[in-house]
Structure 1
Amino acid sequence: MLAEGWRLNADIAYLPWTDFKGRDYHLLRPKTMFDEQRGNGGGGVQIEGVLSYFLTQNISVGVGGRYWAMWTKKDSDALCSSSGCVGEPRILAKYSMERWGTFFQASYKLD
C-alpha cells in the first residue's frame, strides 16, 4: 500500500526461450507470394504495473501499463521462400517484437 486506499502492484516475467514462425504476405501484388521467417532461442520479458484505488474494502479501480518484448538469436534464424526451406538457411537474421499498452480495471473481492 502506498497511502490510505492506494496500492501499487508490479510484475516482471522473463522468457528463457522463444520460438518464432512468421509469414510476410504481399496480397496487393498480382501474384500472391510469401516469405517465411523462422527462429528459435533468444528470450523475452513482460513487465506490468497497476496503480489501484480502493473505493471500499472490497471494490477497487485502477490503471496500468504492460510491456512485452521477445527476440530470437541472430545466428539461428532462417528465411525460407514460398517453395520451402531446402538445406541450410539462406539468410541469417534476428527477429524481435515489442508491444505495450495501457488498461483500466475494476475488481471486486469476495469475503
Structure 2
Amino acid sequence: MYLVTALPQGSERSFNECLVLAERYRKAPMLLSCHKDGTALYTAIMIWNRVISHTGLFQKIISDREPKFTSALWKNLHNFFEQSYHSQKLTTLKLMFWKKE
C-alpha cells in the first residue's frame, strides 16, 4: 500500500491523492483515488467498498505509513466483518462517511 501525494491540485472537492495497492499474485496494481486528509477509517471504508468486494481480504498489508495507521486500518477492517451481525453499526459508519464528503 503506497500513497502518491504529488498530484496536481484541482477543485476543492476533487481527489488529490492516489492509493496504490498491489497483491503478491496479481500482475496489475489497483489504483484508488482519494482525498489527502483521509484517516484510517476513510481508507478502510474505501478498501472495503472497492477492493475486498472484488478480490477478498489481504493476508498482509505493507504500508509506507506509520505502524499506528496500519494498526488502525486493520482494526477498522476487522470491525466491518463484525457488522454482519450488527447492521445498525454499519448504518452509522455509512452516515459518517457520507457526511464527510
Give the TM-score taking structure 1 as reference length: 0.24
Choose between structure 1 and 2: higher helix proportion.
2
Structure number with greater Rg is: 1
Specify which structure has the higher proportion of strand: 1
Structure 2 length-normalised TM: 0.26
Higher relative contact order, structure no. (Cα contacts within 8 Å, ≥ 6 residues apart) = 1
